[in-house]
């Protein structure tokens, strides 16, 4: 597995690092982030697949935004989207449930995962991501997010 901190340093991407108890969902994160005084757009990351399991998507959106997979599927021209299995998550992004984020794209060396970023996140002044563990959050500014996405080289779709 690649070292995200080394990659961010090599790309000259600044970040603020926050340590906290493990968080699995937005509600748990709300409590911890409030204690830390974290500001910026908070993200949730959904690892999805198409109906046949041939295409895989990492959807990054605002943590509290209601998500309609049918609507997203229509936007992408896919008949049905579903959540990918933990085995697929491990295979493509080398991580586990609760730790997946945009930063895991460094592990997709064959660029098999299509990145979908909600416009709100794509245009955010800064946003938060787990660096492959749910006990740490990195806050990265907009320029850094865009630089990281470009570095990873995955197909990018802006949603919304």
Contacts of 150 (CB under 8 A, 6+ apart): none
Contacts of 109 (CB under 8 A, 6+ apart): none
Percent residues over pLDDT 90 in the chain: 83
Domain ranges, ordered by start, for the chain: 4-159
Query: How far apart, in whole angstroms, are the C-alpha atoms of residue 21 and residue 48?
Result: 26
Q: pLDDT tens for residues 52-80?
A: 999 999 999 999 999 899 999 999 999 89
Query: How far apart, in whole angstroms, are the C-alpha atoms of residue 121 and residue 119?
Result: 5
**What CATH number has the domain spanning 4-159?**
3.90.960.10
Q: Is the pLDDT of residue 127 over 70?
A: yes
Q: Is the pLDDT of residue 47 over 90?
A: yes
Q: What confidence category does residue 83 fall into, taking pLDDT thresholds of 50, 70 and 90?
A: very high
Q: What confidence category does residue 15 fall into, taking pLDDT thresholds of 50, 70 and 90?
A: very high
Q: Are 129 and 38 in contact (CB under 8 A)?
A: no
Q: Is the pLDDT of residue 104 over 80?
A: yes
3-state secondary structure of 16: strand
Predicted local distance difference test score (pLDDT) of residue 1: 65
Contacts of 157 (CB under 8 A, 6+ apart): 76, 114, 115, 116, 117
Predicted local distance difference test score (pLDDT) of residue 81: 95
């Amino acid at each position: 597995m690649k070292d995200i901190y080394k990659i961010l340093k090599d790309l000259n991407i600044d970040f603020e690092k926050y340590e906290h108890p493990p968080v699995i969902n937005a509600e748990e994160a709300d409590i911890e982030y409030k204690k830390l005084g974290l500001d910026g757009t908070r993200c949730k990351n959904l690892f999805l697949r198409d109906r046949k399991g041939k295409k895989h998507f990492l959807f990054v959106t605002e943590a509290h935004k209601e998500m309609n997979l049918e609507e997203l599927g229509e936007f992408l021209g896919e008949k049905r989207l579903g959540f990918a299995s933990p085995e697929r998550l491990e295979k493509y992004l080398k991580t586990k449930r609760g730790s997946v984020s945009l930063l895991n794209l460094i592990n997709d060396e064959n660029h098999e995962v299509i990145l979908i970023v909600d416009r709100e996140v794509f245009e955010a002044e800064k946003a938060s991501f787990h660096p492959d563990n749910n006990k740490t959050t990195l806050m990265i500014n907009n320029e850094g997010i865009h630089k990281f996405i470009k570095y990873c080289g995955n197909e990018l779709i802006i949603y919304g």
